[in-house]
Structure formats: structure tokens, C-alpha cells
């Protein structure tokens, strides 16, 4: 069973996303800050991370940058209610798998998670075949 980490400072967003993803069969954890995200990924590996751009303290882009510096290769899907093209481009340059704007479409979010996990599995199979 695939595991997902949701990182958002809004409890309602964490709760509703967690409910939807659990209904889809995923194991879900949540964090309310970039710092908490970095702590959790040192304790457990995840198949995908949903990461809000606007977080108190360390924002989502800085968190993504730290994840990559630490060689956490988990696909990261950025989410934002205040997304700009510049923010999306920066997230992509930092290695984000996808960028979704709030209000979140449940269908688009679930599809992005499925695609991220499928790509991660394909990359792992490719490495194993080499």
C-alpha cells in the first residue's frame, strides 16, 4: 500500500485530503509545516508528498529544496492557493513532479498522486533492470 505525506498549515485541507486519499486506498500522514515535513521524512519513507507552497516558517519551496539536498527522491506535488507562473516554474526547477492550484480538484489531485506513484515505480523498475 502506498503512503502519502500531506504538508499544509490548514487543518481542514489536511483532513479533507487525507480522507479522500484514504478512500483511494493510500496510507496518509500529515504535517503542518516544512520543518515537520523534514522531520517526518527522516523517520519514514513516502511514495508521494503533497506540499503547500505557503507555510509558516520555512515555505514549501524551501522545504522542497531541502528535500532535494537531502536526496529524498520522493515525488513532490506542490499545492497553492496563490500560485503564480513564476512559483510553478521555480517548483519545477527544484524538482516538483506537479503543481496544483487551490481550490483543489479532487479528481486532479488523485490523478496527480497516481501518476507520481506510477512514475516512481517505473523508475525503480528501470534501475533494477539495469
Diameter of the chain by CA atoms? 44
- Kindly compute the dihedral angle of the four CA atoms of residues 83, 38, 119, 86, in this order, to the nearest 10 degrees: 20
The pLDDT, as a whole number, for residue 60 is 97
The pLDDT, as a whole number, for residue 25 is 97
C-alpha cell at 127: 534501475
pTM more than 0.75: yes
Q: What percent of the chain has pLDDT over 70?
A: 100
Nearest 5°: CA angle at 31, between 102 and 39? Answer: 135
Band (83; pLDDT cuts 50, 70, 90):
confident
Is it the case that residue 84 has pLDDT exceeding 90?
no
Q: 78 burial class (0-12, 13-18, 19+ CB within 10 angstroms)?
A: buried
pLDDT single digits (tens) 6-22: 999 999 999 999 999 99
* Residue in 70, 42, 64 with CA at minimum distance from that of residue 52: 64
Q: What is the distance between the alpha carbons of residues 113 and 90, in angstroms, rounded to a whole number?
A: 20
pLDDT single digits (tens) 6-65: 999 999 999 999 999 999 999 999 999 999 999 999 999 999 999 999 999 999 999 999
Amino acid at each position: 500500500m502506498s503512503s502519502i505525506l500531506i504538508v499544509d498549515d490548514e487543518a481542514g485541507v489536511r483532513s479533507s485530503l487525507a480522507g479522500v486519499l484514504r478512500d483511494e486506498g493510500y496510507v496518509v500522514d500529515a504535517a503542518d509545516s516544512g520543518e515537520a515535513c523534514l522531520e517526518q521524512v527522516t523517520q519514514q519513507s513516502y511514495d508521494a508528498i503533497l506540499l503547500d507552497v505557503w507555510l509558516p516558517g520555512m515555505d514549501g519551496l524551501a522545504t522542497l529544496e531541502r528535500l532535494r539536498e537531502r536526496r529524498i527522491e520522493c515525488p513532490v506535488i506542490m499545492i497553492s492557493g496563490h500560485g503564480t507562473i513564476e512559483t510553478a516554474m521555480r517548483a519545477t526547477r527544484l524538482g516538483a513532479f506537479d503543481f496544483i492550484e487551490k481550490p483543489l480538484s479532487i479528481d486532479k489531485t488523485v490523478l496527480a498522486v497516481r501518476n507520481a506513484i506510477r512514475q516512481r515505480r517505473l523508475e525503480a523498475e528501470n534501475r533494477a533492470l539495469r
